[in-house]
Structure 1
Amino acid sequence: MPNQPTGDPKAHDTSKFSDSLSGSCLCGSITVTITEKDLFSKPRGHLCHCSNCRKVSGSYVASNLLVEADKVKIDDRDGTLKTYEDKASLSGNPVYRSFCSTDGNPVKSETAAYPGKVVVKMGMMDRIPQPEAEGFGLHRHEWQGKHDGVPVYKLKWAGPEKERMPWGP
């Protein structure tokens, strides 16, 4: 029997995520649980187009959720969580990018620019909330589509550098 396709987010009703959302790396060694209400009742998280996030995600954009560190629980069953110190950041603060050393799956990022917060890499999750913003819009590819109702910022979507692109809401 052929394998069935996996990962259809529509197979996961958002009502089951009313109090928390969990996901894992590809090999299952690392599980991340976000304990937060209202993850799907309003736009949350952001899409990032900066070069570093694109490289970490292995895609043209990264889907991230900036959340309080005490709302994130990471279980590292097999001890595969490793961290890379990324010193090439806009703020000048290093970004500590954690990933699974077995399958390479990005897990989280932390930086002094956002004290007490964690950037969870949302590709691990069965469902991803609609983003509230896009950051580093200047770095978008010209062929990318636009997301209705999602503001796009030239650089950062949070902090003093935020300035919206001329298009978008």
Structure 2
Amino acid sequence: MSNPTPSFTGDPNAHPPSSFSAGMTGTCLCGSISVTIHDGSLFSKPRGHLCHCANCRKVGGSYVAANLAIEKEKVEIQDAKGSMKRYEDWDTGSGKCVTRCFCGNCGSPIMSEPAIFPKMYILKMGLFPRIPKPEAESFAAHRHEWQGVHEGVVQFETVRGGKKLKE
């Protein structure tokens, strides 16, 4: 029995930003949950944000989480198999709950629902074929010293909208 030729997936350059003029759909790893963003301006300006807080790093399984804060009415979630699981995270800087949603089949992080922003979802951008350029970094004071700097991205010391690290 021979090993099949590997197929490489996930090249964002295979998806020009113009192909998402009406929005964009992404899925978890197993495909049981799909998330569609209905917003034609995803790539017209920097939109996403990078978060370096410990909780986002844990949820993302990396040194930073690529997120997009977006109004709930612009998001459609399909979970036909009922795979979405929720974890109530109370260990937050605000002391308010952040409900962290993930696929119970494959473990992919889907989104967070912060109690302090009840009309917003924080989507986990790894689900999508392309990630908008970030406009900001939160908890930038928690960055590792070996990380590069993203030009033009506002760095907030901790919470987004709080004290900036540099102008």
TM-score by length of 2: 0.96
Match of 1:58 among 34, 58, 61: 61
Amino acid at match of 1:49: H
Shift of 1:31: 0.1
Match of 1:13 in 2: 16
Query: What does residue 43 of structure 1 align with?
Result: 46
Gaps in structure 1 of 5+ consecutive residues: none
Deviation at 1:118, TM superposition (A): 0.6
After TM superposition, the structure 1 = structure 2 runs for residues 80-91 of structure 1, keeping only pairs within 5 Å, are 80-91=83-94
Give 1:99's match in structure 2, choosing from 95, 99, 102.
Answer: 102
| Cα distance in structure 2, aligned partners of 1:69 and 1:5 | 32
Tell me the number of residue pairs that the alignment of Structure 1 and Structure 2 aligns: 164
Deviations 1:106-140 (A, max 9, x none): 00101121121110110000000000100001110
1:156: Cα distance to partner? 1.0
- Over the matched positions of the two proteins, sequence identity in percent amounts to 52
Unaligned runs of 5+ in 2: none
SS in 1 for 2:154: coil
Q: Which amino acid aligns with 2:165?
A: M
Shift of 1:37: 1.8
Aligned to 2:163: 163
Distance across 2 between alignment mates of 1:7 and 1:97 = 24
> CA separation in 2, counterparts of 1:4 and 1:109?
31
1:103-142 residue pairs with structure 2 within 5 A? 103-142=106-145
Letter in 2 for 1:117: M
| Alpha-carbon distance, 1:77 to partner | 2.1
- The letter for the 2-side match of 1:153 is F
Distance of 1:79 and 1:38 partners within structure 2: 30
2:147 paired residue number = 144
Instruction: Give structure 1 regions of 4+ aligned residues with deviation exceeding 4 angstroms.
Output: none
Q: Secondary structure in 2 aligned to 1:132?
A: strand
1:77, 1:24 → 2: CA distance?
12
Question: CA shift at 1:45, angstroms?
Answer: 1.4
